Every structure is written in structure tokens, then in C-alpha cells.
Chains A and B, each alone.
Chain A
């Protein structure tokens, strides 16, 4: 039961990451991101039930609040400010090539994370490659998308993947560090959001194609 639930949560994590690559509508991308946050919270919840740890349950609730509610809300608010025009992204790499790239990245993640699985084989550590895949897909979104908001989602995908690896590998990195990390992510997103707003004021839009001022 535990292993199935764990695998289900990890599957949802991976699926939502791929869906972000597949869909172009920014509202859908944000919904997928919220779903992924929920999947991450479920993952932590499953681990909490297995280890019967009240602390981990609290962390699961925190993860849900931050990643499935607060961050998507901030993203949606940024999008609402953008108005109706041009909601789709025009990625640098087209959708079918992106999906192919996701497959390659998955293989890469499995190949790279072999030593991690071998160090302490268990149901949880065997799912680590999924977390690494989400990190790689996030990085891919970050470098191939042009809209500022999509880049933001890419950064957050990376972060979700890293958090997943953190919980699957061990039960977290210690409370002080964990709090610091969550706070930093929240702050980074707030900073990025303010900058997107400012970009809209100065550029009229948040399409990074417009970012051509600085070059050699």
C-alpha cells in the first residue's frame, strides 16, 4: 500500500512536469504547477504516515500551503495583471521536440542517480530519479521559454524537484535549513513577481524577446 501510494505520488509529480511542457496556455500551466504542489504534499504525507512522524505531517501541510496554494495564487495574480493579450508562450523549442527532450532528460536522470539508489536501496530512494527528472525538466523550461512567467514556473519546477529529492533521500535537511529554504523560495518568487510587474511597466509586456538591451 505504502509503495503504491508513493509511486502514485511520484508519477503525478512527473506527469504534471511533462504537462507543463506540453501545454502552452499560461493558466493551464499554473494549474498544473498547483497540482504538482499537491502531489508533492501527498508524497510527504505518505512518508509521514509510513514513519508515523507528527513533525513530517506538519511539514506536509506546510508544503501544501506554500506550493499548492500560495505560490499558484501569486502566479495567477501576476498573470491577471498581464491583461488578456498573448497568453500563450512561444517556446524556443517546439512542443514535440520538448516532449522528446523530456524523455531524454528522464533517461539521463535515471543514469546519473544510480549511485544514490545503490547507497541505500528502498522504495523511497528508488523514486529519487523522478525528483531529478523534475529538476532537469524545470531547468529545460527555464532556458527554452520566453515569457517571464513561464521562466518563473520553470524555476519553481526545479525547486519542487529538489524538495522531492530532499524528502525521498532523507527526512529533510534539519528544521532550520528547511525553514530557510522555504522562506528563500517565497522571497525569490516575490522578487521575481515585482520584477515582472516592473518589466511590464517599462517594456509593455513580459516577453523576454524584448530583452535585447544588454549584449556585447
Chain B
């Protein structure tokens, strides 16, 4: 039953918005449902840590520690984003860019978005994972194009075309893998557990084609090069809460699918194949992010390229594949999700105040809106991996694991690129925060939504004292480490 809750509750939330629309009573339904998802995730994590994986609905849903952890990420980032949504939408409605109708549709689609992501991490079958990931594209397409301007319609079009084509490659990969499984003793379908247990019997030639297609396809949705082109456009054009969700969780949910595929690949083909693929994609993503961040003029695109960077780092961690690297990669997913959600939400607020997404259009933000500027500044410091935030610990873990695993050269290159990106982010942000403000307005002391402070605080706490999380992370990485 617990497995149904994270999928069913957001669907109920969506129905609420469908029936009652956007009004005072339904304002907080969205955050409430995200809170329930988070609660269910914690409940599930405790249950799974105590008594092992659970299955439900005739074996279609299954949760182990990794699923529970991913659900935790969805719930936590979802809560931050949905809790900041009412303030965002109120401002949009006040500015005439949205109506009660678009606000209701926004909330409805966000709820469905949460439901599809929860389904993706809880599905027991690779085919169902695929269906859920594709469904996230369809649900979010209208969210990206919500503002109906030239730029946002263009972004939505690119988003759907590139992601659907990429995810179609993953479908081909799934079909080929199914073909390999059908000719292996003990497996008949795309059940993830059966595939992983019997992976050593899969035909290597066929499996190699399948894995390459699956990693490339899900990599598209995770924003990894070479099929990353949709990401900066979609993230910069979507409404702030949607950018927060897409960057904070959608990318890592797609990456979760790659992790599942990688276990099968490691058992069937040895660790070398998936590692090569992932190292190439990770370094390509880092190079791309660094080169486009150096002279970036748009702060929302700056955050978007930084997401490509961080997913590249996570992919690099997965490529290394040691327990330390995988634990660090998963912690990085959570830390990045929280911080990036906070940053996109504050960037959305900055856009509402200044009316421009150009970096040089925002000067002296600290003097104009000190609370907002502090949140944004702290978020960027967290993003570049300064302590006490958890991204410091996870980046350190990935780098250490890289040197231990004999990937020293690649790790050095990655580290260098991360430093370049950090410098670019600091330069861009200081140009926004410092300097003489071009205009002075009265409400400089307006408070920031509590959700933003909460997200930053959670990330800092994670970096200092992770509480019971390490044991869950250990459990989550255990099945991902294949020694062969």
C-alpha cells in the first residue's frame, strides 16, 4: 500500500485542481501532496532499511533502498518547489501574466509531474520506467510553454522533439534488451531484478547495443551531452517552480534509470563498457558547461548550464562505480536538487522584480533586496561546493574515489573544469549582487519565502551531519556495486 501512496496522492491532488480550480482553499494542496510524498518516502526508507525491498500491485511496483532514496529526493525538492509556488503564482497573477485558470492548470500539471516521477523510481519493470519517463516529458511540455511567448513556445517545441527522440532511442534499447533476455535462461521480460540476477547469461553483442542505446536515450533526459540541447532553453523559459523541479529532480530521475541499466551492463559486459560511455558523456558535459558558462549573459541559462555540469559530475561518480563514488553521487543528487531548486526559485523572484533575465540588467541586488540576494548568493556558494553545504562532501567523495579507482587523469580534468565553472558562476553572480543599484524601490525589506531558506538549511545540515542518511545510502549503493 505504501508504494501506491506517492503515485496516487499527487494524482488526487491533480483531480482537486481539475475540479475546484485555483482558489484560496486549494492554494496549499500542492505543497501538502508533496509533503505526503516526502512522508511516504521516509516511511518507505525506514521500512526498506529494516526488512528489505517491498513489492506491490502484482509485482509492477517495487522499492529497494535506491528507490526509497530517489523518492526522498522527489519529495524534498518537490516540497521546496511547491511551497514556494503560491507566492510565485500570486505575483504572476498580480502582474497579469497569469490568470486563475492558468494557475490551476499549472498546479494540476505539476501534480501529475510528481506522480510520473514517483512512478518512474518505483516501477519494477524497465518498460514501465520508460513509460513513466516519457510521460514526464508530455506533462511538462505545457508547463515549459506556459507563458506562450515566442521564446517559451520555441523552448517547449525543442524540449518535446529532442526528448521524445532521445527517449525513443531508449525504447529501442529496451526492446533489444528484451530480445536478449528472451534468449537467456531464467528471464523473459524487462523485470529489473530478474535482468540483474541473470545478466551474466545475456548475449554480450546484443546487450552492448541495448546498453549504448539506453544510456544515450536516458542521458538525453538527464541533460548529458551530446543530446543536451533542450536543457538550457527549457530551464530558462519554464516558470520558476517548474525549472526548480526539472533541474532538481527530473534530471536525476532520468539518471536513476541509467544507474539501473548500468548494473545490468556491469554484470553482463564487465565494468569497462558502461564506464567508458559514462566518462565520455560526463567529460563532454563538463567541457560544454564550462565553455558556455564563461561568457554567459543570462542568469537562468547560467543555472541551467550548471545543471549540466552537476549531472556530468554525478555521471562521473557513477562511472567510477566504487561504493564511495556511488554514495557521493547519490548525496550529490540530493544536495544539488535542493540547492538548484532554491536558486531557480530565487532567480524567478529576481525576474519578477527586475523584468529581465540578463545578468547585466540586475545590478546591486544586495542593496535592493538583501534577503533575496543573500539567498541567491548562498545558493551559488553551495553550488560551487563550499562547506558547510553537502555538495562539498559529495564532490570531495567523487574526486577521492576517482583517484583511488585509477581514473586520475580524467578526475584531474574534471576537477579543473569544475574550478573554471566555479569561477564563472562567482563572476556572474557578483555582477548581479554587487554594484550600484540602477533603481531604488521601497519594499527592500520584503521577506523571502520560508521554503527557500528551508532548502538551503537542509543542504547545509546534510553537509554537517547526515543523520540516518548514510546507512540508507549504503543500502542503496550495495546492489549497484558489481565486482567482476
Binding site for B on A (CB under 8 A): 112-116, 118-120, 135, 139, 142, 148, 151, 155, 158-159, 162, 165-166, 169-170, 173-174, 176-177, 180-181, 184, 187-188, 191-192, 194-196, 198-199, 202-203, 211, 213-214, 216
Contacts and interface: CB of A to CB of B under 8 A. Distances in A.
Contact of B179 (A151, A170, A196): A170
A173 B233 contact: no
A194 to B, nearest CB: 8
A192 B160 contact: yes
Interface residues of B, number: 52
B301 to A, nearest CB: 7
Q: Count chain B CB atoms within 10 A of each CB in A159, A170, A177 and give the residue with the most.
A: A177
Interface string B180-204: 1011000001100000000000010
Interface in B123-138: 125, 127-128, 130-131, 134-135, 137-138
Contact of A202 (B128, B135, B153, B203): B153
Contacts of A211: 154, 157-158
Contacts of B149: 202
A188 B141 CA distance: 9
Contact of A184 (B135, B165, B176, B237): B135
A116 B60 CA distance: 28
A180 B131 contact: yes
Contact of A155 (B131, B134, B158, B164): B164
Nearest to B191: A174
A165 B176 contact: yes
Given A173-B175, A191-B141, A216 B158 contact: no
Nearest to A212: B154
B135 A173 contact: no
Interface in B298-357: 301
Contacts of A196: 157
A119 B165 contact: no
B145 A195 contact: yes
B205 A119 contact: yes
A199 B157 contact: yes
B135 A165 contact: no
Interface of A is mostly: helix
A190 B182 CA distance: 33
In this complex, which of A159, A187, A214 has the most chain B Cβ atoms within 10 angstroms of its Cβ? A214
A181 to B, nearest CB: 7
Given A119-B180, A165-B176, A188-B138, A180 B301 contact: no
Contact of A191 (B142, B168, B206): B142
21 contacts: A116-B176, A119-B183, A158-B168, A159-B168, A162-B175, A170-B179, A170-B182, A173-B178, A174-B190, A177-B131, A180-B127, A184-B131, A187-B135, A187-B138, A188-B137, A188-B138, A194-B142, A202-B153, A214-B158, A214-B232, A214-B237
A120 B179 CA distance: 9
* In the A-B complex, the 4 residue pairs with the closest CB atoms: A115-B205, A177-B127, A180-B131, A169-B179
Contact of B165 (A112, A155, A202): A155
Contacts of A194: 142
B383 interface: no
Contacts of A214: 151, 154-155, 158, 232-233, 236-237
A155 B161 contact: yes
Nearest to A152: B161
Nearest to B126: A177
Given A165-B175, A195-B153, A214-B237, 13 more contacts: A115-B208, A116-B205, A116-B209, A155-B168, A162-B168, A165-B172, A170-B182, A176-B125, A176-B128, A187-B135, A192-B157, A192-B161, A214-B233
Contacts of A151: 161
B293 to A, nearest CB: 10
Interface in B17-37: none
A155 B168 CA distance: 9
A123 to B, nearest CB: 15
A184 B149 CA distance: 26
Given A155-B165, A162-B168, A192-B161, A169 B176 contact: yes
A195 B175 contact: no
A216 B148 CA distance: 21
B371 interface: no
A191 B127 CA distance: 22
B160 A142 contact: no
Given A148-B157, A174-B127, A112 B209 contact: yes
Given A119-B180, A174-B189, A214-B233, A202 B148 contact: yes
B50 interface: no
Contacts of A114: 205
A216 B138 contact: no
A81 B176 CA distance: 39
Contact of A213 (B150, B168, B180, B301): B150
B453 interface: no
Contacts of B209: 112-113, 115-116
A197 B128 CA distance: 31
